[in-house]
Amino acid sequence: MSDIFSLTFLVGLLSATLRVATPLVYGAMGEIISERGGVLNLGIEGTMFLGAFTGFAAAAALSNAGVAGYLWLGLAAAILAGMIMGALMGLFAVTLGVNQHVSGLGITLLCTGLALFGFRLIFGESDVLPKVTPFAQIAPLGATSPAGVVLEQYLLTYIAFLVVVPVSWWLIYRTRFGLNLRAVGENPEAADASGVSVARTRYASLVLGGALMAVGGAFLSLAQLGAFTPGIVAGRGWVCIALVIFARWHPVRGMWGALLFGGVFALQLRLQTLGLELPYELFLALPYLVTILALALAGRNVAYPGAYLKPYHRE
Amino acid sequence: METRSYPYAIEMRGIVKRFGPTLAGDHVDLAVRKGDVHALLGENGAGKSTLMRILYGLYHADSGEILVDGRPAVIRSPKDAIAHGIGMVTQHFALASPLTVTENIILGRTPNFRIDMDAAHAQVQAAAGRYGLEINPRAVIGDLAVGQRQRVEILKALYREARVLILDEPTAVLTPQETHQLFTELRRLQQQGLSVIFISHKLHEVMAITNRITVLRHGRVAGNVETRGTDERALAQMMVGRVTRPAVKPPAVEEGDPMLRIADLHAADAKGVPALQGVNLTVRAGEIVGLAGVSGNGQSELAHILSGTGEAGRGAVRVGEKEITHADARAVMAAGVGRIPEDRHAGVVGDLSVEQNLVLEHLDDFRRGGMLDHKRIRSHARALIDAYQIKAAPGDRIRTLSGGNMQKVILARVLERAPAVIIVAQPTRGLDIGATEYVRRKLVEQRSRGAAILLISEDLDEIMELSDRIAVIYEGRIMGELTGAEATTERLGLLMSGVAHAALGAEA
């Protein structure tokens, strides 16, 4: 058991924590921005899945064609797919005023079907998993010191923590878009009377949110795996839904939530290798148990956005 | 120059508005002089709010025209109204509560994508200073008292360069102190040239703050007078179309047995802060005891405990000989307590029908086998609708009823059981004169029957009109008790502001 406290163990744990947390940060920021406008986007799980697929499929095609920046172009394709799904959520939840639970779950089903169908269509049924050479990690501090090893990460991880989180905060609290967004999510009548377009603001937040969710999915296929598998997202979208409530719709708290989940996930991976006499499913369940626990503790009496789940139409 | 000297800020001419079969506006004319505080007076349902919603672009008139500054104006949305310099503050504030004062005020008026919060705060602060409205721009709306929120709404309208401000029943949600402050602020704004349309059904307020009064009744103009040339009696007659009758209270019945006894009651509010700190109070059979106080001094917590929906700490509450300190709502009712809650929407289930709401608390009495006896529920409802003059059908969803009719449903449900003790909180808040009179008469009737009534109200006039004894609560303690004869607004006001009874001893 003393292994747990060794430096190597700790370094490995922290490094893995950041890696596991990365897609959650993208997903949670996307969901926070969507929900701040009053729309619960349960399409997140599917949007991440579609993002993972679109990113991979585009990158694979471009890579075969010998295009140099195939990974970034694949990422761009994923973003586009995410934006389309965000707009579709807008069509259902904003324009048509359909129940948000139903439309969100519908989008997840649609994305899942599209991605699996597309995968079969493009790659057929082969025994060999198609692969692309994924993003390489960067190590700004070198890969020898413990800190250097921890910080040897993908560029997308750096972007998640150093750009997406602070920019999300800035966007929500320090820009016109963010002010309109919060007003629209809280009191759409007041926003409307003040000349803020409720529909346009909500569409913008859903499209932006969808793009971020798709990047979260594409991170899995283009960075972590270099491949696409049917179980690639594995409920991360749902975890993000919980994280957003845990975070009380605040980007920085959302980041801490993602790190907490990432940390427990990384820990259970390592606990599995210690050879304890426990079924491994128990370890696998651990991060989800912690999520539920954290939600139960921190998610009580939270103030949901005032117009949460409510479509807005002028009388 | 000619437009500048034009005397009227707003003119509405021949406004007609139909909702289905009802005429909410029947050729209404309204002319508001510049710099006036102009009252729009009328009972609930007289068409005041409809008229103002038309002016603010929330409704569209079927016919008629609106002139702003003497020029015809087309107002299709609040945005148009704001562009014409018209602002409106409704009872349900159009503020986003997790946002700060500044954020709410600058919403929709942000010139750049990036917002410089410090500069925005300074700008809002400056505007607040200019209009004499004291407010902290950095405060979060959710943390502000109702009166302060209203101030934010007024400032928001002024920030949008409103020259005409519509205030829809602005004092309905205010304490006497806040009302006083609002009036001071309005007078100052009036001096700065602002015109105000003041919607109300409270006569003494209209007399106190306005220059001119337009009275509406059943969608028509029933009168248009200078405030200086009229009085409350004349206005009341215009409003209801007949002479009004105050609830005449018969002389006190001889001293009855103590029915409700509260001894050293303690309780905490939702945040765990002590809300009741040793309340002692007795209500006897055949008397109305008024509990006066500024809102938030423990009244709600007390009412909840007496209704079986609160959490009592130390102390005891007895109904007759039965202790109900920690009893639940069912046990409290069984002990003979009838409750008329502060928020009448919380006293009914909006989506259920009138007849269902009328039996909601006593479903066991309307069973046949394991099922509800719908025939009996309906005939029960018919009888009560008749007896309590409720303007509704048994099958109407209660959500669709006016406040007065909803309150009558609650009264009917409670009073038909002839409870020994009645806990009634803010029974006439938001009701029109007719309904208010009705509710008060019913309470006096109950007193004559021998019920012990605890009347919790923030309306001092109501307390003084109805109570045999008045207790004043301040920070969870009873500051003093006065008999109905001893009570004056001044003495109650002193007690309400926490000046102890002893200090009054000299003049008593």
> Complex ipTM, two decimals?
0.89
Cβ-contact A152, A140 below 8 angstroms: no
Q: Indicate left, alpha or beta for A234 from its phi (over 0: left) and psi (-120 to 50: alpha).
A: left
Interface of B with A in 100-139 (CB under 8 A): 103-104, 106-110, 112-115, 117
Contacts of B250 (CB under 8 A, 6+ apart): B444, B448
The residue extents of the domains of chain A are 17-138+151-298
Mean pLDDT for B35-63 is: 90
The residue extents of the domains of chain B are 8-240, 258-348+408-507
Cβ-contact A4, A190 below 8 angstroms: no
- Smallest Cα–Cα separation from B423: which of B389, B392, B459, B451? B451
Nearest CA in chain A to B59: A315
* A179:B112 CB<8 A: no
**Is the Cα dihedral B55, B60, B63, B69 positive or negative?**
positive
- Smallest Cα–Cα separation from A18: which of A137, A167, A158, A148? A158
The answer to whether residue B140 neighbours chain A at the CB level (below 8 Å) is: no
**B8-240: what fold?**
Rossmann fold (3.40.50)
Mean pLDDT for A303-309 is: 89
Alpha-carbon span B226 to B209, nearest angstrom: 12
Alpha-carbon span B459 to B479, nearest angstrom: 18
Instruction: Note the pLDDT tens digit of each residue in A6-20.
Output: 888 899 999 999 999
B16: part of which helix (H) or strand (E)? strand B8-19
Residue B4 predicted with pLDDT over 70: no
What is the largest distance, in Å, between two alpha-carbon atoms of chain B?
Answer: 82
In this prediction, residue B507 carries a pLDDT of 41
3-state secondary structure of B283: strand
Both tokens of residue A211?
């793009």
Contacts of A244 (CB under 8 A, 6+ apart): A28, A31, A32, A35, A254
* B107:A303 CB<8 A: no
Both tokens of residue B409?
């449903």
Inter-helix orientation angle A251-272/A165-174, to 10° = 160
- Smallest Cα–Cα separation from B220: which of B244, B239, B242, B199? B239
Q: Check residue B399 and report its DSSP letter.
A: G
3-state secondary structure of B226: strand
Q: Position B271: which residue type?
A: K
Instruction: Note the pLDDT tens digit of each residue in B350-404.
Output: 889 999 999 988 888 898 888 999 999 999 999 999 999 898 889 999 988 888 8
Cβ-contact B153, B94 below 8 angstroms: yes
| 3-state SS record for A172-221 | HHHEHHHHHHHHHHHCHHHHHHCCCCHHHHHHHHHHHHHHHHHHHHHHHH
As a CATH number, domain A17-138+151-298 is 1.10.3470.10
Instruction: Note the pLDDT tens digit of each residue in B266-300.
Output: 998 877 788 999 999 999 999 999 999 877 789 99
In a mutagenesis test of the A interface, which of B76, B79, B88, B107 is the best target, namely the one with the most A β-carbons within 10 Å?
Answer: B107
Cα dist from A118 to A9, A109, A214, B186, whole Å: 40, 14, 16, 67
Both tokens of residue B442?
């019913």
For the entire predicted model, the pTM comes to: 0.79
In a mutagenesis test of the B interface, which of A169, A172, A187, A189 is the best target, namely the one with the most B β-carbons within 10 Å?
Answer: A187
Please give the CATH architecture assigned to the domain spanning B258-348+408-507: 3-Layer(aba) Sandwich (3.40)
How many Å is the Cα radius of gyration of chain B? 25
Instruction: Note the pLDDT tens digit of each residue in A174-226.
Output: 999 999 999 999 999 889 888 899 999 999 999 999 999 999 999 999 999 99
Chain B partners within 8 Å of A175 (Cβ) = 113-115
Cβ-contact B227, B213 below 8 angstroms: yes
Chain B partners within 8 Å of A301 (Cβ) = none
* B99:A182 CB<8 A: yes
